[in-house]
Structure 1
Amino acid sequence: MDTAENPWKILESSLQYDNRWIRVTEHQVLNPAGNPGIYGVVHFKNLAIGVVALDDDGHIWLVGQYRFPLEQFSWEIPEGGGPHDEPPLRSAQRELLEETGLKAREWTEIVHMHLSNSVSDERGIVYLARGLEQFAPEPEETEQLHLLRIPFGTAYQMVKNHEITDSLSIAAIQKIRLMMLEGEL
């Protein structure tokens, strides 16, 4: 089998929902076995952007906020959406400043990922930000944020203890830990 070949056949597509952030399309399909079915796809209109802000003392910043879809509070790395027509680094710099008030001199791209590829096309990019300087945060009106500066090891333990459950944050923190173990940091 050619692994690049799409085994799904779309018979018909219909738009179910559309707003500034997402579009939901339902597809009438023939599945890989040739049987009829449906497949709903959530298209994200922005790129997911995350930032691990790591200072010279080995501390990182987490942002806490109530997440409406989960109906619970969540600790995460600074993150948000970046327009597809904007360079991802510019989006990362804006999100870091908005949520934490930090600006960084050094930026390294560390993670590329698909966030929920069974139902959406959402892609994420995470940056490591170093050489930090503090300014005033500029949160959006939809954000009621809590900031936490903690040792990186504590954040890693929060991932291990399921206290951080956000996928972008987990991937980023584990990637930083791997980079530390491999002597890259």
Structure 2
Amino acid sequence: MNENPWTILGERAVYDNKWIRVTEYDVVNPSGGKGIYGKVHFKGLAIGVLPLDEEGYTWLVGQYRFTLDQYSWEIPEGGGNPDEPPVESAKRELREETGLVAKEWTHLLDMHLSNSVSDEKAMVYLARGLEQREAMPEETEQLVVKRVHFEEAWQMVERGEITDSMSVAGIQRVKLLVLGGKLSIG
């Protein structure tokens, strides 16, 4: 099961920037047919943070997503520097997007995003013991930040209003921890 059934005959980089590299491979697939396969390599981690205060509230970030051509509500998230511990990237993203600083950090989950075409790895954290400071969004970010009760965020997932994969997974993970008695919220 761990053996690669694909044979790579050749490869060429077709696009490269500071965030991603796209490679096209000439391959023989597991059934013996020749073809091509494209792979998007992400040079950093995808980092998500679900902040949760003592009263049971979380923060969502709304922004227009260029790639989707639509508005999206999400947990605070961004790119993680591969040269630093992922939790440090999570701390930076939370502060940048919401102005929040957390005393407690819990790793919630790892996931691969769109693994049929990319190797992007995501890590989602739970942040507690929150203190409000000033947000510092990047120049490319036009963000709307709103504080909602966690149950409302979960309902937004259930209604299909939150579709971002890290947000859905992080919110569902916390809901499962609450339902299993492993996490309490206000």
* Alignment partner, residue 91 of structure 2: 93
Alignment of 1:160-175 (within 5 A): 160-175=158-173
- The DSSP-based 3-state class of the residue aligned with 2:54 is coil
* Alignment partner, residue 74 of structure 2: 76
* Alignment partner, residue 10 of structure 1: 8
- Matched to 2:19, the amino acid is W
Instruction: Work out the CA distance in 2 between the residues paired with 1:77 and 1:166.
Output: 9
Cα deviations across residues 52-76 of structure 1 (Å, max 9, x unaligned)? 0000000100000000010010000
State the 4+ residue runs in structure 1 displaced beyond 3 angstroms: none
Instruction: Work out the CA distance in 2 between the residues paired with 1:184 and 1:100.
Output: 26
- Matched to 1:158, the amino acid is M
Deviation for aligned residue 1:184:
1.0
Instruction: Work out the CA distance in 1 between the residues paired with 2:125 and 2:59.
Output: 13
- 5+ residue gaps, structure 2: none
* Alignment partner, residue 32 of structure 2: 34
TM-score (norm 2): 0.98
* Alignment partner, residue 104 of structure 1: 102
- The DSSP-based 3-state class of the residue aligned with 1:184 is coil
- Matched to 1:84, the amino acid is P
Cα deviations across residues 31-66 of structure 1 (Å, max 9, x unaligned)? 000110110000001100000000000010000000
> Which of 22, 25, 35 is the equivalent residue of 1:24?
22
- The DSSP-based 3-state class of the residue aligned with 1:62 is strand
Q: Does 1:136 align with 2:97?
A: no
CA RMSD of aligned residues (A): 0.4
TM-score (norm 1): 0.98
Instruction: Work out the CA distance in 2 between the residues paired with 1:173 and 1:48.
Output: 16
Deviation for aligned residue 1:18:
0.4
> Which of 26, 49, 55 is the equivalent residue of 2:47?
49
Percent of paired sites with the same residue: 64
Instruction: Work out the CA distance in 1 between the residues paired with 2:172 and 2:90.
Output: 19
Instruction: Work out the CA distance in 1 between the residues paired with 2:167 and 2:113.
Output: 11
Cα deviations across residues 153-179 of structure 1 (Å, max 9, x unaligned)? 100010011100000000000000000
- The DSSP-based 3-state class of the residue aligned with 2:53 is coil
Alignment of 1:114-129 (within 5 A): 114-129=112-127
Deviation for aligned residue 1:83:
1.3
Instruction: Work out the CA distance in 2 between the residues paired with 1:46 and 1:64.
Output: 22
